[in-house]
Amino acid sequence: MPLVVMKFGGTSVDGIRRIRNVAAKVQVETSAGNNVIVVVSAMAGRTTELSETVGNISRMFDAREFDAVVSTGENVTAGLLALALQDLGVPARSWQGWQVPVRTNSAHGAARIENIRTESIVTKFAEGMKVAVVAGFQGITQDGRISTLGRGGSDTTAVAFAAAFAAERCDIYTDVSGVYTADPRLVSRARKLNRVSYEEMLEFASLGAKVLQTRSVELAMHNKVRLRVLSSFCDGPGTLVCEEEEIMEQRAVSGVASSRNEAKVTLISVADRPGIAAAVFGLLASADVNVDMIVQNISEEGRTDITFSCPVEHVSKAEIALNEVLESGAVRYRSIVADTEVCKLSVVGIGMRSQSGVAAKMFKALADDGINILVIATSEIKISVLVDRKYMELGVQALHDAFQLDRC
Ligand code: ADP
Ligand code: ASP
Ligand code: MG
């Protein structure tokens, strides 16, 4: 029997009425002759609330116990949805990650799925069950501890199940109608894209569009999962994430992404000689600092400045690591300056590979609004800049207008 995977995010399962709405949508699929694996998130806000509770009870908490607590929101919605489906007369059963099991590595809080055993669910389908409701975001490590996949991780659970079960498609239901040319909460005239390539979606996700977790897009791309993003609350075809060849229209820029909580850290007056950058960034990597953009200035009299960006919440561990290296004498620099009030704006598009002038247009649009660019980084299909956080909304809007993204 054909199998589809449907995933419902936090807002879609927020309360009894919405869970019943989800059950009705799932029933449409079973009535059409499909078996369904439904992946659910915790109710909106629940994961944040659970993480804060952990932080309140213990400042230097054990990551394994953090996962034991924050994974529980999904257990509740999985059980409730199975009950709502049974009420409609649809044979359904819930699974927590460990029951499947979904095996992950032991990077608690940001674990990666290693494999998914299909037997227990396949056996139940063979016995006449129509819907397996799976708690998203969670798995079990080799040593039997509960793990979680990082914020937004239920998207990744859904794609991983679609790949493991060779599902016909993987539909991600959320609170917007698809992937837009910019976050529709920031740009009222943002336009829904009918199709977006895996590569562009990967950039959008990693540059701050939280509509899909980055890892879920990587997995979908690698396993050629047919992925759709659509609304739980209104009908419509949503956005198909697919191969580049399936997309007719190739604009230079397909959309704008933004990431609010970025920081810029500068090491002032570092010796300009081989091995220094390796030492600095090696140390930051060992301290688990997620370094993004890097700029090194032209040196003067053998000394230079090195600037990098990272998430705001990584600044203190970066400073601790850099102070240690200074004390040990391994790297010498005059001072560290951290600016924690910046954000990242990016334009993304596969058409950029063949069209020139995108950077100039982007910089002019920002300049026209008096927005100063602090750091620039480019890749084949994206250009990103760091700017003061107070300009984020203005900047996103300016870029959306400059590339006329509201027009088809
Ligand atoms: P869920 O709880 O369903 O997983 P998320 O909150 O994780 O939903 O993701 C959906 C949100 O992503 C939307 O409400 C929207 O504000 C945000 N978003 C950011 N960028 C985009 C974009 N380009 N297209 C659509 N949504 C976006
Ligand atoms: N509940 C988790 C979160 O809020 C996972 C998810 O919803 O995807 O991040
Ligand atoms: Mg999400």
Query: pLDDT tens-digit profile of 338-360?
Result: 999 999 999 999 999 988 999 99
Q: What is the CA radius of gyration of the chain?
A: 23
- Looking at residue 191, what is its pLDDT? 97
Tokens encoding 54:
């952990």
Looking at residue 307, its pLDDT comes to 96
- Ligand of minimum distance to the alpha carbon of 14: 1
213, 41 Cβ separation under 8 angstroms: no
pLDDT at 248: 80
Residue type, position 264, single letter: K
135 within 8 A of 41, measured Cβ to Cβ: no
Ligand 2 contact via 173 beta carbon (within 6 Å): no
What the block records as the tokens of 304 is 């230079």
Q: Identify which ligand lies nearest to the alpha carbon of 191.
A: 1
The whole-angstrom separation of Cα 137 and Cα 211 is 15
Q: How far is the CA of 147 from the centre of ligand 2 (A)?
A: 13
| Position in ligand 2 atom list of the atom nearest CA 74 | 1
pTM: 0.94
CA distance 49 to 324: 34
**What is the model's pLDDT at position 156?**
98
CA distance 195 to 226: 11
CATH number attached to the domain at 3-175 = 3.40.1160.10
Residues with Cβ within 8 Å of 160's Cβ and at least 6 positions away in sequence, in order, are 102, 113, 116, 219
Q: Which residues line ligand 1 (CB under 6 A)?
A: 9-12, 41, 152, 174-176, 179-180, 182-185, 204, 209-211, 255
Q: What are the residue ranges spanned by the domains of the chain?
A: 3-175
Contact (Cβ atoms closer than 8 angstroms) between residue 283 and residue 388: no
pLDDT of residue 329: 81
Q: What tokens were used for 181? A: 């040319």
Q: What single-letter amino acid sits at 317?
A: K
Closest Cα to atom 5, ligand 2: which residue?
A: 152
Taking the chain (408 residues) in runs of 10, the rounded mean pLDDT of each run is: 96 98 98 98 98 92 96 98 98 98 96 98 97 98 98 98 98 98 97 96 96 98 97 96 87 95 96 88 92 88 93 95 86 93 97 92 98 95 97 98 93
- Give the position, in ligand 2's atom list, of the atom nearest the Cα of 156: 8
Cα(138)–Cα(68) distance, rounded to whole angstroms?
9
- Helix 214-223 with 198-206: angle, nearest 10 deg: 160
Q: Which ligand is nearest to the CA of 46?
A: 2
Query: Residue 281 is which amino acid?
Result: F
Cβ of 98 below 6 Å from ligand 2: no
List CB contacts of 30: < 8 A, sequence separation 6 or more. 36, 90, 130, 131
Residue 180 is which amino acid? Y
**Ligand 1 mean position to 184 CA, how many Å?**
8
- To test ligand 2's pocket by mutation, which of 137, 219, 229 has the most ligand atoms within 8 angstroms of CB? 137
Place of tokens 């949805």: 81
